[in-house]
Structure 1
Amino acid sequence: MTVVIIDDHPLIRRGLNSLFSLSGSLKVLGEATNRREAMELLNAVKPDIAIVDLRLGEESGIELITEAIRVGIKSKFVILTSSTNEEDFKKAKEIGVAGYLLKEALPEELLHALQMIRKGRKYYDPTVLDLLMKAPTPLDEDGHIEQLTPKEMEILIELGKGHSNKEISKVLYITEFTVKKHVSQVFAKLGLADRTQAALYANAKGLVKYVVNS
């Protein structure tokens, strides 16, 4: 898997380079420190994943990603930031980033996130999700999660992993139609609007346990 690092902090770039070199599964194709350098790099090397700081000095990582997507760059984008601001996360999610991680994340968590993203899934830092879920919400009022059946709980956990109905049907050995029915029940019982909210809820409640391969 090929990556580029777009960050204006030399220590961060050096640390990521060392981590990826030791991983054995990631190849760094280049680095950039600002928007102009980043666009030139992305166009030149076309990496699988671009790791982008949310703030590149006086410039915006969000605006950089938006521009890259607009001009047709096919790389997947991962925000790596110190910000736990809700608006920053929402903006990143709205433009379709594949991941949002905090710089305080453990190295193995970052590597695991990149492997998930390579497989077509999304990864949002559990710390950010937890902060969002602690905001006042009807979900916390009546212990709704206790209303879920064991099968619905399994469905919620799979939603937390970002799995599609087809993937869930294979994991739980049930039909896609049955999965769809259970998903609807989970939404109704927890007062959730969509799969994204379900994933946020499952992760914030600590229901999803990932195993990182060594």
Structure 2
Amino acid sequence: MNIVIVEDHPLVVQGLVSVLTLECDFEIKGVCSNTLEGIELIRTKHPDIVLIDLRLGKESGLDIIRAVKELNIDSKFIILTSSVSYLDFMMAEELGAEGYVLKESLPEELIYAIRVVGRGRKYYDPELLDYKLKKDENNYNDKLTSREWEVLRKLSLGLNNQQIANKLFISENTVKKHMSQILAKLGLHDRTQAALYVKNLEIVKH
């Protein structure tokens, strides 16, 4: 597999290169440290896997994913980060990142993640999923009413407001009010993030 690394910490880069070059089927096609160089490197090399630091100085690695997806390049993306922020993870997944690995992980785990993503599957760091499960179990029951939770679950199935209203035998205006309350209580920005919230919760529960 051909790999590109986008990371702005030289010591981290050195460690990644040392670990990955030990694998006979891995080939590092390039290393860079900012978004513009990252986009250009991916555009010219078309790597199988791109390892991207979530935060590149004042820039965001997510901007690279967004730009490359628009170019219809088939590279797969693994976020390599120290952040266990729920919103960081959710934004990465929403943009199409296939992997999310913490920098504290063992080298074997990163190698495993690369192989899993390379086979077309997704890989999320177990520590992150454990964190999410505890966070969500502690928070969502306390924050949401039973009706709000029902609305959220229907939203995650892809239903629009009118369809949710029909399913729950309430008015569309009531659904809209519930959605506003849900977004505010969970600190989410829009319906897409709310739907991802439920789907990610279901992932960690199963």
Shift of the alpha carbon at 1:198? Answer: 3.7
CA distance in structure 1 between the partners assigned to 2:123 and 2:81 by the alignment: 14
Question: Are residues 29 and 90 of structure 1, via their aligned partners in 2, closer, same or farther at CA, if it must alter by over 3 Å?
Answer: same
Shift of the alpha carbon at 1:25? Answer: 1.8
Partner of 2:115: 115
Tell me, yes or no, if structure 1 residue 200 matches structure 2 residue 173: no
Deviations 1:18-51 (A, max 9, x none): 1111122210000010011111101111100000
Q: Which amino acid is the alignment partner of residue 13 of structure 2?
A: R
Q: Secondary structure at the match of 2:100?
A: strand
Q: Which amino acid is the alignment partner of residue 6 of structure 1?
A: V
The structure whose Rg is larger is 2
CA distance in structure 1 between the partners assigned to 2:36 and 2:136 by the alignment: 41
CA distance in structure 1 between the partners assigned to 2:42 and 2:7 by the alignment: 14
Q: Which amino acid is the alignment partner of residue 66 of structure 1?
A: R
CA distance in structure 2 between the partners assigned to 1:138 and 1:89 by the alignment: 18
Structure 1: which 5+ residue stretches go unaligned? 142-191, 203-214
8 Å CA contact 2:136–2:201 kept in 1: the answer is no
Shift of the alpha carbon at 1:137? Answer: 3.0
Question: Are residues 140 and 53 of structure 1, via their aligned partners in 2, closer, same or farther at CA, if it must alter by over 3 Å?
Answer: closer
Over the aligned positions, Cα root-mean-square deviation in angstroms equals: 2.1
Partner of 2:60: 60
Partner of 2:7: 7
Q: Percent identity?
A: 42
Partner of 1:132: 132
Aligned 1:10-159 pairs, distance under 5 A: 10-137=10-137
CA distance in structure 2 between the partners assigned to 1:119 and 1:17 by the alignment: 21
Structure 2: which 5+ residue stretches go unaligned? 142-196
Partner of 1:153: none
8 Å CA contact 2:6–2:31 kept in 1: the answer is yes
Partner of 2:148: none
Question: Are residues 193 and 11 of structure 1, via their aligned partners in 2, closer, same or farther at CA, if it must alter by over 3 Å?
Answer: closer
Give the number of aligned pairs.
Answer: 151
Shift of the alpha carbon at 1:108? Answer: 0.3
Q: Which amino acid is the alignment partner of residue 201 of structure 1?
A: K
- TM-score of the superposed pair, with normalisation by structure 1: 0.66
